[in-house]
């Protein structure tokens, strides 16, 4: 087992590199500043406690997203815990200006909301977090192939949802890197 | 434009915007506080008791939960009513314990009989091909009939809560659940039922501070201040829970009133039972 100082250094490096993306991930999925602060605090607390389980390199961030995703799901079910750890962050985030989605993009958010949670998460992990199939597999705890198959279906359902809302976006056949190459 | 590019354009917040919301000292403070907690590599579980009314209260004597099974109250359900392709009504001649109705692609479920045997709820869900465990826990009158907690497998993330403003006193709360018609997963859900006289509430986490206790905005005030307000409102039965830096140590089972300092701070307050309040206190202020 590495000495305590080594653990601290590892955690600090991970925290510095991933604090903003994980906060971004959470804020893109909840409008509630209190929830966001709690989820961020609990995610990094989990990472600290399970430091030896955190995968290295480009799998670290997806792993953290996966933890944040589960904590967020618990919050949505009403199983929320207020950690004293997140108090300062809660205060900072409460002051933030409310992000408004421009009117012309609102149908996109509505179409996303109309999808099952699994589809929504897949599409936003590509669109918002810019993850590839291998990284999404880490977030969701499933195989790369499953990600590709589900993503394909999710795109179709999203397009249908958009059309159902009569939203006019130019939408040629999906052609995204994720379905094509295997980056790892 | 492919779907993900469209979705990208509609991102509510970028990572850069998120970064700008947090002060540098806040960022450093969180890392320090996390690293100051014990590192436990075997159990990833964080002590669930922190600020978690549900677990805390479960630890306290919960009276009469099983007794509920003995009481059967006939509700005013309408058996045999047909809504969409879903047969609404009880599987037997007994009045329904739950009400089911259809709304778009969802099945809306509400509790009609809050004192039915849990097995009856299970049967009524099973009759519709649903694997749902519904239980009731004693709550304040405000929270009776509302959703205290939901859990389940991955698919249960698609189950939504129906919220109603003002249904639980001044707060918005869940009054029912919406299950996708295609749902094949497992869900467990806990609704509140009015506690019997003297019965301890098993209130869920996520309750707003001071809910049902007649004390508003207790967070961050001193113990002396909150006690003065409690006295004005004739609340005399008070229990304390200790909380510092995300931990309930060294008082995992509550802290005796005599050891609570008047200049400590209140983190939260929950209704323990009718006329009794549980206050979460700690020596440090919030934030």
Q: What is the ipTM of this complex?
A: 0.84
- A 66-105: CB under 8 A from B: 73-93, 95-96, 99, 101, 105
- Taking the C-alpha atoms of residue A82 and residue A38, their distance in angstroms, rounded to an integer, is 6
- Residue-level pLDDT at A117: 86
- Residue-level pLDDT at B215: 62
- Residue-level pLDDT at B205: 36
Q: How many CA atoms lie within 13 A of B169 on its CB side?
A: 15
Given a contact cutoff of 8 angstroms between Cβ atoms, the answer to whether A178 and A132 are in contact is yes
Q: Which residue of A has its CA nearest to B13?
A: A28
- Taking the C-alpha atoms of residue B235 and residue B226, their distance in angstroms, rounded to an integer, is 11
Chain A residues whose beta carbon lies within 8 Å of the beta carbon of residue B245: 84-85
- Residue-level pLDDT at B172: 53
Q: Which long-range contacts (CB under 8 A, 24 or more apart) does A17-22 make?
A: A17/A60, A17/A61, A18/A60, A18/A61, A18/A64, A19/A44, A19/B19, A19/B22, A19/B27, A20/B15, A20/B16, A20/B18, A20/B19, A21/A61, A21/A129, A21/B15, A22/A61, A22/A64, A22/A65, A22/A68
| B168 has a chain A CB within 8 A of its CB | no
| Beta-carbon separation of B51 and A82 below 8 A | yes
Residue A152 in tokens: 């394909």
- Residue-level pLDDT at A14: 96
Q: Tell me the pLDDT of chain B (287 aa) as tens digits.
A: 578 888 998 888 899 999 999 988 889 989 998 888 876 543 333 222 222 233 323 222 222 222 222 222 222 223 333 333 333 344 444 578 888 999 888 899 988 877 778 888 888 999 999 999 888 877 766 677 777 777 777 777 788 877 765 555 544 566 788 899 889 888 888 887 877 766 666 654 334 444 445 565 677 889 998 888 788 777 778 888 888 776 777 887 788 899 999 999 988 777 666 667 888 888 887 65
Chain B residues whose beta carbon lies within 8 Å of the beta carbon of residue A41: 30, 34
Q: Where are the domains of chain B?
A: 66-194, 208-282
Q: Which residue has the tokens 């019997």?
A: B196
- Residue-level pLDDT at B204: 40
What separation, in Å, do the N-terminal and C-terminal C-alpha atoms of chain B show? 45
**What is the CATH code for A102-169?**
1.10.10.10
- A 19-48: CB under 8 A from B: 19-21, 23-24, 27-28, 31, 40-42, 44-46, 48
- B 187-246: CB under 8 A from A: 204-206, 243-246
- B269 in helix, strand or coil? strand
DSSP codes joined into one string, chain A: ---HHHHHHHHHHHHHHHHHHHHHHHHTT---HHHHHHHHHHHHHHHHHTGGGSPPGGGHHHHHHHHHHHHHHHHHTT-----GGGHHHHHHHHTSPPP---GGGHHHHHHHHTS-HHHHHHHHHHHTT---HHHHHHHHTS-HHHHHHHHHHHHHHHHHHHHHTT----------HHHH----
| A5 has a chain B CB within 8 A of its CB | no
Q: What's the angle, vertex CA A154, arms to CA B174 and CA A63, rounded to 5?
A: 75
CATH topology of domain A1-95: Rna Polymerase Sigma Factor; Chain: A (1.10.1740)
- B210 in helix, strand or coil? coil
In this prediction, the residues of chain A whose per-residue pLDDT falls under 70 are 1-3, 77-84, 96-99, 167-184
Q: Which residue of B has its CA nearest to A95?
A: B21
| Beta-carbon separation of A24 and B15 below 8 A | yes
- What is the tens place of the pLDDT at every residue in B73-92? 222 223 333 333 333 344 44
Mutation target for A interface from B8, B10, B209, B220: give the one with most A CBs within 10 A: B10
Chains A and B: how many Cβ contacts under 8 Å?
205
| B258 has a chain A CB within 8 A of its CB | no
Chain A residues whose beta carbon lies within 8 Å of the beta carbon of residue B132: none
- Residue-level pLDDT at A180: 39
- Residue-level pLDDT at A10: 94
Q: Where are the domains of chain A?
A: 1-95, 102-169
- What is the tens place of the pLDDT at every residue in B136-151? 877 766 677 777 777 7
Chain A residues whose beta carbon lies within 8 Å of the beta carbon of residue B191: none
């Amino acid at each position: 087992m590495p000495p305590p100082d080594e653990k601290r250094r590892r955690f600090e490096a991970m925290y510095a590199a991933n604090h903003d993306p994980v906060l971004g991930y959470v804020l893109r999925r909840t409008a509630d500043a209190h929830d966001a602060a709690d989820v961020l605090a609990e995610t990094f607390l989990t990472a600290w406690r399970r430091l030896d389980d955190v995968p290295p390199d480009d799998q670290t961030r997806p792993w953290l997203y996966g933890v944040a995703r589960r904590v967020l799901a618990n919050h949505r079910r009403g199983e929320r815990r207020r950690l004293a750890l997140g108090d300062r962050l809660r205060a900072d985030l409460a002051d933030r200006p409310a992000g408004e989605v421009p009117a012309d993009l609102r149908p996109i958010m509505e179409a996303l909301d109309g999808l099952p949670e699994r589809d929504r998460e897949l599409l936003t992990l590509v669109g918002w977090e810019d993850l590839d199939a291998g990284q999404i597999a880490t977030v969701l705890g499933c195989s790369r192939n499953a990600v590709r198959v589900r993503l394909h279906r999710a795109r179709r359902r999203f397009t249908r949802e958009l059309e159902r809302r009569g939203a006019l976006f130019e939408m040629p056949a999906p052609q995204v890197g994720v379905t094509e190459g295997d980056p790892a | 434009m492919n779907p993900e590019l469209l979705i990208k354009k509609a991102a509510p917040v970028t990572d850069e915007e998120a970064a700008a919301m947090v002060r540098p000292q806040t960022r450093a403070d969180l890392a320090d506080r996390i690293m100051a907690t014990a590192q436990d590599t075997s159990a990833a579980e964080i002590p669930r008791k922190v600020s978690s009314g549900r677990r805390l209260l479960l630890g306290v004597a919960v009276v009469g939960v099983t007794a509920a099974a003995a009481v059967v109250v006939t509700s005013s359900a309408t058996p045999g009513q047909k809504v969409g392709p879903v047969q609404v009504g009880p599987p037997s001649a007994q009045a329904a314990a739950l009400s089911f109705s259809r709304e778009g692609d969802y099945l809306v479920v509400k509790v009609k009989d809050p004192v039915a045997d849990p097995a009856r709820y299970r049967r009524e869900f099973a009759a519709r091909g649903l694997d749902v465990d519904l239980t009731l826990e004693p709550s304040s009158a405000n929270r009776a009939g509302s959703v205290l907690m939901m859990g389940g497998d991955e698919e249960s993330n698609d189950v939504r809560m129906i919220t109603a403003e003002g249904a639980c006193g001044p707060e918005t709360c869940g009054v029912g659940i919406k299950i996708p018609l295609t749902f094949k997963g497992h869900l467990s859900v806990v609704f509140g039922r009015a506690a019997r006289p003297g019965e301890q509430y098993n209130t869920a986490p996520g309750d707003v501070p001071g809910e049902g206790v007649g004390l508003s905005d207790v967070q961050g005030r001193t113990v002396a201040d909150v006690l003065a307000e409690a006295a004005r409102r004739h609340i005399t039965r008070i229990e304390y829970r200790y909380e510092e830096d995300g931990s309930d140590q060294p008082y995992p089972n509550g802290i005796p009133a005599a050891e609570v300092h008047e200049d400590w701070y209140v983190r939260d307050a929950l209704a323990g039972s009718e006329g009794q309040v549980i206050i979460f206190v700690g020596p440090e202020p919030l934030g």
